[in-house]
A and B are shown apart, each in its own frame.
Chain A
Amino acid sequence: MALLPTEIKLILALERRFPLPSRERFLLWLERGLFLAVAASFLLRYLGFETWAPKMLGLVLLGLSAWLSVSASVYFSRFHLARGYAETHPLLPATRWLVAEAVAADDQSLLLGWLKSPIGRRVHERLGFKPESVLAEVLTGGAMPAKPVSIQLSQFKQLGDLAGWLLGAFPNYGDWLSRKGVAPDQLIKAANWVAGYQAEQFLQSAWWRWEYLAQIPGLGKNWHYGAIPTLDNYGQILTVPTDAGQRSPFLNQVKNLESVLNRSREANAVLVGDLDSLLGVIKVLAGRIGAGVTWPQLEGRQIFLLETGRLLADQSQPLPERLLTLAAEAAHAGNIILVIDDLPRLSVAVSAAGVPFATLLDAYLAGRALTVIGLADDASYHAALEPDAVLLNRFETIKIESPAETGLWPVLTDFVLTVEAKTGFWFTYQAVEAIVDNAGQFFGGGTLLAESLDLLDELMGYLAKQRLRVVTKEAVLDFLRVKTNIPLGTIRTAERDQLLNLETTLSGRVIGQATAIKSVAGALRRARAGTRNPGRPIGTFLFLGPTGVGKTETAKALSAALFGREDALLRLDMSEYSGEDALERLIGSFESGQAGTLSTLAREHPYGVLLLDEFEKTAPAVQNLFLQILDEGVFADMRGRRVSLRSLAIIATSNAGADLIWELVGQNQDLAGQEKALIDHLVKQGIFKPELLNRFDATVLFKPLGDQELKRIATLMLEKLASRLKLKQGIKLEITPVLVEQVAKRGANRQFGARPMQRFIQETVEQLVADGLIAGRIKTGSQVSFVPLKLATGDNPLGLELWIE
């Protein structure tokens, strides 16, 4: 099967046998050797060894011939690699160079060629394998395709296409990868990643290519433009490496911006979006201007980033006057694109000084004298710029979308490679994938791009402490586990037992609510198994039932089970958010600048269980906000910044419908099948909208507690007290059936369920013990119990008296 021309096979064989970097290293050592040999030859002549000096010179000449031949081979390889990597190789007009490299290593089997080729080995290395063991392990299943194949290499537009094809043609290869935990998609993406950066790294070092030379900035390019001494006080010229931005997720949006800036009049734009993305767009624009790939009108332009804060802080001159001076200077310079980092703020400040911003600068904004780009976040754009028709007449509004996961990949992988080059860490493909997957989920306050870069930054610090060099998916998940306390990664034995026995664990704390517990435990296991949707909160539950039946206790137990601590429970009493200002108090107010309770809570405690007590009492606007939160796990605060609740489990409790629950229980009906009846009841009564109820993962009914359940709760509470007394005072409290019965009977009631029981125990049992201690009747080591009163008294609600052994 001759898929490649002989010349190409020879070039690639040379590259496999003597890789270019090793030949280059050899040349370096040879040059040093030759230098020493020449010096030695002169020394020999000087010392009078006349016969040895010419022989040494002869060696130098032989060395030079070796140097010449290796150098020629280096140029030969560099030429072919540069041609192949850059676009298409002259000898391979329709085939990608790396696809050719990937199959050239074996004439008989494409799979063998792939496994033996340098690029194939690198792809497997990135997937966390040792290349030498891959060959041996895969080949135990045979190296021939499952059925005869007929292919053209030109059908593979990318290396990943070839990898994908190999998986189909050689099922044993795919099976082996699956057994090792690598999905087909991961192989394909890893192949494309490695191919992309390998070509790019080579081309970036190929200094002799015109594309490289053309990017070096020249001297004297700005001499016919004016200086900007005053502007320099309020910001700086943006300097970025020249780059055509082909891999940037913002490329299309930048091209759109360029066409606005290229206009013959009103060449101004306001970019709306999150600040990270806006600055990303500006940097790509600067890179493209430097690379000379944009419109001729923009050639030689420099981007000046004006910092609004610095401008407003300077009180030496009235703001409008100062702004006019700066605009005049920028216009006079002739090559400045003025980027205002917070246009809404500057516009409001200028207007407050008496002149509307657009009117003040109209002479500059209308023509081409000055090009201005304003940056604005969504909320301040709507609040301050949108109502200003004059300003928007001079500025073209461009909405910048933050890059989604797909657009994020090139940026993040570039950053990973930079980190690798700087720090010596080495990332597997799965580790980078884990960073992208988890950044939005666990950091989630800003854009996915910013979150991923933040995650990577924090991860570096963690890994440096762990003295890890190879960054695997497990290392990323370990770091997230330490940071968030949320169990991630492989489920370990102890955790598996804990998950499987979750119902038993929760039942130890929540009495008589088996159905509710089952529903919550199931949702938890789904979350941990990774089958949940990462674009939503960990779990969302509506707990319905009368007061004092264990709704809050379940939330606490869930918090302990999920995060290992009860204080991960964030509690909001929603009855406090029933007024007209409820929404503003929760998400914050743009006018007053007050931050919202929910925004602050979610930002300060991104991981935990959010308990919304008495959810039915909250205002309709707040319920509407939760429609979005339950669905997407995020909301926008008063400044339009994203707040994420995706690492929270959300539990709303309500005793709405408690009357119906009592009624059903009174009719001896099983509550398990009655969710629908209760939901219909709540919708009919207008308490909750059906679309809100549908968004919860589960609506869980808590049934009223019967006598037996109340006794078990009483036992639990008394046991806690007994253990406290034993630990602190050394007193043994005997929990007798009569004590349990009295506490259950007198400490609970129909209206509040078991809620008053704790207080009842404090006021009766604890009080009697405390009195005994103070009176000196109870001492350390005493054993106390409660027995029926000999004489009934009105001031003893427990109906029992203390008996000390």
Chain B
Amino acid sequence: MIVRIVPNYILWHYTLGLAAATAFGFHLVRFLINFFSLGLLAKTLFAPWRRLGETYAQGLQPNAWFETLIVNTLMRLVGVIIRLSLIVIGLIVSGLAACLALVVVVLWLAVPILFIGLIVGGLFLIFD
């Protein structure tokens, strides 16, 4: 059975298997982008942190209006700082994952050669 399965496996390795390994790389990066909510955080970058803030007073009260403006701007600033931090971390991790995915695909292509290389190398070291 094992002898019969090898050609079958090799065919799978370079067709469906390769496609699956590549798809996994894409999925991993897509997952991390989603996990760090990069799109959502970019869209809501300037939104107040947890909707905290004050409502502007009715009528002409410049002092109160400016006070509210300052508080609300501060809340937006807090939001920007926290969101930007997560965006930066997310970008770094996703970038690393993309590199890793590339390495995985390259290694995948090399697996049969690697397998033979390990056996030859092993035997060489033992019997040298």
List chain A positions with a Cβ less than 8 A from chain B: 7, 10, 13-14, 17, 54-55, 57-62, 64-65, 68-69, 72-73, 75-76, 79, 90, 208-210, 213-214, 216, 218-221, 223-227, 332-334
**15 A–B contacts, CB within 8 A, in A order:** A58-B123, A60-B122, A61-B125, A62-B122, A62-B126, A65-B122, A68-B114, A68-B115, A79-B17, A210-B31, A219-B35, A223-B49, A224-B47, A224-B51, A227-B51
Given contacts A220-B41, A223-B79, A224-B47, contact A213 B31 (CB under 8 A): yes
The docked-state distance in angstroms from the alpha carbon of A224 to that of B43 is 10
Determine whether B100 belongs to the interface, using a CB cutoff of 8 Å to chain A: no
Top 10 nearest A-B pairs by Cβ distance?
A58-B125, A61-B122, A226-B51, A58-B126, A65-B118, A62-B122, A224-B44, A213-B31, A224-B47, A58-B122
Give bound CA distance, A219 to B5, whole Å: 44
Contact residues in B for A223 (Cβ distance below 8 Å): 41, 44, 47, 49-50, 79, 82-83
Q: A7-B8, A216-B35 are in contact. Are A61 and B51 (CB under 8 A)?
A: no
Q: Give the CA-CA distance A210 to B32 in the complex, in Å.
A: 12
Give bound CA distance, A125 to B52, whole Å: 59
Decide yes or no whether B9 CB sits under 8 A from chain A.
yes
Q: B27 and A213: CB pair below 8 A?
A: yes
Chain A residue nearest to B26 (CB atoms) is A210
Is B60's beta carbon under 8 Å from chain A? no
CB of B36 within 8 A of chain A?
yes
Give 1 or 0 for each of B84-117: 1 = CB within 8 Å of chain A CB: 0010000000000000000000000001001100
Binding site for A on B (CB under 8 A): 1, 4-5, 8-9, 12-13, 16-17, 20, 23-24, 27-28, 30-31, 34-37, 40-41, 44, 47, 49-52, 79, 82-83, 86, 111, 114-115, 118-119, 121-128
Bound-complex Cα distance A666 to B125 (A): 116
Min CB gap A703→B, angstroms: 82
Is A10 a contact of B1 with CB atoms below 8 Å?
Answer: yes
Chain A hits for B20, CB < 8 A = 79
In the complex the two chains form, what is the Cα distance from A218 to B122 in whole Å? 45
Distance from B121 Cβ to chain A, minimum over Cβ atoms (Å): 5
Q: Are B27's CB and A210's CB within 8 A?
A: yes
Tell me which of B8, B34, B119 contacts A218 (CB under 8 A): B34
Starting from the known contacts A72-B115, A213-B31, 19 additional A-B residue pairs (CB-CB under 8 Å) come to A59-B126, A64-B118, A68-B114, A69-B115, A72-B13, A72-B111, A79-B16, A216-B35, A219-B35, A219-B36, A220-B36, A220-B86, A221-B37, A223-B44, A223-B47, A223-B49, A226-B50, A226-B51, A226-B52
Q: Are B118 and A225 in contact (CB under 8 A)?
A: no
Which residues on B sit within 8 Å (CB–CB) of A218?
Answer: 34-37
* Residue in B23, B34, B118, B124 whose Cβ sees the most chain A Cβ within 10 Å: B118
- Choose one: B30, B50, B83; the contact of A227 (CB below 8 Å): B50
**Closest Cβ neighbor of B48 among chain A residues:** A224
**Given A10-B5, A13-B1, also A90-B16 (CB < 8 A):** yes
Distance in angstroms from A207 CB to nearest chain B CB is 10
**B125 close to A10 (CB less than 8 A):** no
Number of inter-chain CB pairs below 8 Å: 118
Residues of A within 8 A of B36 (CB): 218-220
Chain A residues, Cβ within 8 Å of B37: 218-221
A62–B120 Cα distance when bound, in Å, is 8
- A221-B37, A333-B51 given as contacts; is B122 within 8 A of A72 (CB)? no
Closest CB in chain B relative to A330 CB, distance in Å: 12
| Residues in B neighbouring A54, C-beta threshold 8 A | 125-126, 128
Cα distance A241–B30 when bound, in Å? 21
Residues of B within 8 A of A227 (CB): 50-52
State the Cβ distance, A245 to closest chain B Cβ, in Å: 21
* A219 / chain B contacts, CB cutoff of 8 Å: 35-37, 86
The reply to whether A61 and B121 form a contact with Cβ atoms under 8 Å apart is: yes
Measured in the bound complex, the distance between the Cα atoms of B37 and A225 in whole Å is 14
Complex CA gap A721/B86 in Å reads 91
Q: Which residues from chain A contact B118 at a C-beta distance below 8 Å?
A: 61-62, 64-65, 68
Closest chain B CB from A99 CB (angstroms): 21
- The answer to whether B1 and A55 have CB atoms under 8 Å apart is no
- Report the separation of the CA atoms of residues A60 and B119 in the bound assembly, to the nearest whole angstrom: 10
Instruction: Please report the C-alpha to C-alpha distance between residue A225 and residue B40 in the assembled complex, in whole angstroms.
Output: 12
Q: How far is the CA of A61 from the CA of B82 in the complex (A)?
A: 48
A65 to B118, CA, bound (A): 6
Nearest B residue to A209, CB-CB? B27
- CB nearest neighbor in A for B50: A227
Taking the nearest CB of chain B, how far is it from the CB of A73, in angstroms?
8
Contacts of B123 in A (CB 8 A): 58, 62
Q: Once bound together, how far apart are the Cα atoms of A35 and B117, in whole Å?
A: 20
A7 to B17 CA separation, bound complex (whole angstroms): 14
Cα A334 to Cα B51 with chains together (Å):
9
User: Which single residue of chain A is at the shortest CB-CB distance from B33?
Assistant: A218
Q: Which residues on the B side are within 8 Å of A225 (C-beta)? A: 50-51
Note all chain B residues with C-beta closer than 8 A to A61. 118-119, 121-122, 125
Report the Cα distance A54→B128, complex, angstroms: 9
Q: Which residue of A lies closest to B12 (CB)?
A: A76
**A332 and B5: CB pair below 8 A?**
no
Task: Name the residue in B23, B24, B51 with the highest tally of chain A Cβ atoms < 10 Å from its Cβ.
Answer: B51
In Å, the complex CA distance between A58 and B121 comes to: 7
Chain B: minimal CB distance from A43 (Å)? 17
Interface contact A14-B115, CB-CB below 8 Å: no
Closest chain-A Cβ to B78's Cβ sits at a distance in Å of: 10
The answer to whether B119 and A65 touch across the interface, beta carbons within 8 angstroms, is: yes
